[in-house]
Structure 1
Amino acid sequence: MPTPENAQIADRFAELIRQSQDKLSPAEQRVVSFIDRNRAAALAQSASQLAADIGTSNATVVRAVQNLGFKGLAELRRLIATDIDRQPSSTENMRRTLAQVGESSELAATLVLESHLKALQALQEPDARTRLNQAVSCFASSERIVILGIGRAGPIASYVAVMFGRIGRRARAFTASGAGLADDLLDLRRGDVLVLLANGNPYKEAVTAIRQARLVGIQVVLVTESETSKIARRSDIVVPAPRGRTEHVSLHGTTMCVMEALVTGLAACDRDRTLLELDRFEDLRTQLGGRDYVE
């Protein structure tokens, strides 16, 4: 088995896990799976902290790390930190993904589906469910929901704003970048809640939006795969949304699932209001000629 220092593959940690499966006991597999799902968080946790989060012993964590081929947790952290710091481009990520699947469209589809399945399984964890519920409660007590999504997250933000509107909640999507976002941020007001769709290192739009939210005095809900980022530390509620395997093409299906879960959860908080607004929507759609448009 290659050592952590010289394993030259797209997702080195994932490959080490794959190669070591037969050596890992069920308890050790749980440890490795948890670290794999929470790589950024693992950088800041000791073996005893990981053991407490996973519900196992400190010795099991140490054995699991060593059976992956590392001398200790510090060596594992160096590998994960190196991968996170690299920040590969979209082209590099796609190149790695295509190198793994070759010319097989079936393998490519399987890779995407398995990545989403793994991400959705992570959302079944009690902590993730708790954060989802916290976000719904925050939305329920707000007067308006503002969703900030830049770049590829922009269409998701726009779609979710429409869905919140259909269940009777005032909502707006902020999708402008750079100086163009200034006019939008001026519209933030007390009674709003700001939802950020953001991953990775802080970018100026997110940082500025959080700063403006603090000036106005409103809560910030972050939907992200980077639960230990600087943006996460500045947010009130952090909802996990794993996007896919490290160093592979980024996937946004989980973000969409999380947001639709939040919309449906909010709808359930006030059933009568939701159904009344949907009846009004259907009536308006009928007046405008039925369903001759794309949903």
Structure 2
Amino acid sequence: MELLFRIRAESDEMPEAVRRVAELIIGDPAEAARSTIVDLAERSGTSTATVTRLCRALGFGGYSELRVALATETGRAERAHWDTDIGQEILPGDNLDRVLNVVASSDIRLIQETASQLDVATVEQVARVLTTAGRVVLFGVSSSAAVASEMECRLQRIRIPCWSRSDAHTALTDAALLTKGDVAIGISHSGRTREVVEVLAEAGSHGATTVAVTSHPRSPLAEVAELVLTTSSRETTFRADGFAAIHSQLLVLDVVYVAVAQQTHERTKEAFDLTARAVESHRLPTNGRGPGKADQ
């Protein structure tokens, strides 16, 4: 859902009146698609001029174009997600079957939304600089730190010199030593985590290529990055935006990782074979037939 993703991601940066219109559309896009410009202005407590300002900020000539885009997108979403649209609220008394369905539904839709809006051209650019990087530093805090650590493991396995950091001081000192040909990747759902912004800015000031992974393409983190990979997030009860964004972040970075592996196919295959043999003896026998193949 590319349009709704854009509206959601950019709404924080909009003027207050325009943001009210945006929030109304996000809350019920199908109803917005059925509404006239006057209806939408009245329901948001704004004016038709404000609605038009939103349309033009999103690249539309007027409200009629926005309505068509909303109708197309919501219609496609209803067809694609009718079987998973069970709501996001989890109540204290809900049984675990419903909890499982809500969480799974949310994550499935999150992955689909992330995939639909991800710019594959940017993914290819990021993969290209990673394949030749002298040094790669990933930085995130809280839940984003776990994502950075996972990407570190994957890239190191295919011989990309990569380190993840979760401590701001360590990350800043690493960033200060980066130079042209190196890469710094900052991960932050909000794009407003001060430490992540500072690390990326420091790396960029020394000539390193900077990459932001964020759900907000107009955030401070995106502004200091050369390349921006956008993620998505869907809250459910007990899982706020930052935690909900983990699967989206992993998907985006997994696509980057696979793209790097494609571009370094022979080197990657050799690395897999070598590392698989190195840990093979640490796997338990399978049905008495000896060690199984090491995890890839």
Distance change in 2, residues 1:220/1:159 (3 Å): same
Instruction: Name the amino acid aligned to 1:162.
Output: C
Is the contact made by 1:243 and 1:255 (CA closer than 8 Å) also made in structure 2? no
Distance 2:266 2:69 in 1: 51
CA deviation after TM superposition for structure 1 residue 133, in Å: 2.0
CA deviation after TM superposition for structure 1 residue 185, in Å: 3.4
User: Equivalent pairs: percent with the same residue?
Assistant: 16
Could you say which residue in structure 1 is the equivalent of 2:287?
none
Of 196, 200, 210, 1:210 maps to 200
1:194 aligns with 2:184: yes
Specify every segment of 5 or more residues in structure 2 that has no aligned partner in the other structure, as ranges: 1-22, 37-50, 71-87, 285-293
Could you say which residue in structure 1 is the equivalent of 2:132?
141
Distance change in 2, residues 1:194/1:14 (3 Å): same
Residues 266-281 of structure 1 aligned to structure 2 (within 5 Å): 266-281=260-275
Instruction: Name the amino acid aligned to 1:232.
Output: A
- TM-score when normalising by structure 2: 0.65
Is the contact made by 1:149 and 1:175 (CA closer than 8 Å) also made in structure 2? yes
Q: Deviations over 1:117-150 (max 9, x none)?
A: 2232233336522222222122223222211121
Q: Deviations over 1:10-66 (max 9, x none)?
A: xx758841xx747846xx9xxxxxxxxxxxxxx9x73135354xxx9641426888x
Alignment RMSD (CA, Å)? 3.5
Distance 1:15 1:122 in 2: 14
Distance change in 2, residues 1:128/1:110 (3 Å): farther
Residues 1-12 of structure 1 aligned to structure 2 (within 5 Å): none
- TM-score when normalising by structure 1: 0.65
Could you say which residue in structure 1 is the equivalent of 2:64?
59
Distance 1:180 1:221 in 2: 18
Distance change in 2, residues 1:131/1:180 (3 Å): closer
Is the contact made by 2:186 and 2:212 (CA closer than 8 Å) also made in structure 1? yes
1:236 aligns with 2:221: no
CA deviation after TM superposition for structure 1 residue 271, in Å: 0.7
Is the contact made by 2:90 and 2:236 (CA closer than 8 Å) also made in structure 1? no
Distance change in 2, residues 1:57/1:131 (3 Å): farther
CA deviation after TM superposition for structure 1 residue 272, in Å: 0.4
Distance change in 2, residues 1:237/1:203 (3 Å): same
Residues 20-169 of structure 1 aligned to structure 2 (within 5 Å): 21=30, 24=33, 46-50=54-58, 52=60, 58-61=63-66, 97-99=89-91, 102-125=93-116, 128-169=119-160
CA deviation after TM superposition for structure 1 residue 165, in Å: 1.0
Is the contact made by 2:189 and 2:231 (CA closer than 8 Å) also made in structure 1? no
Paired positions, count: 229
Distance 2:89 2:31 in 1: 25
Specify every segment of 5 or more residues in structure 1 that has no aligned partner in the other structure, as ranges: 1-11, 29-42, 66-95
Moved more, 103-112 or 258-267: 103-112
Is the contact made by 2:119 and 2:229 (CA closer than 8 Å) also made in structure 1? yes
1:239 aligned counterpart, secondary structure: strand
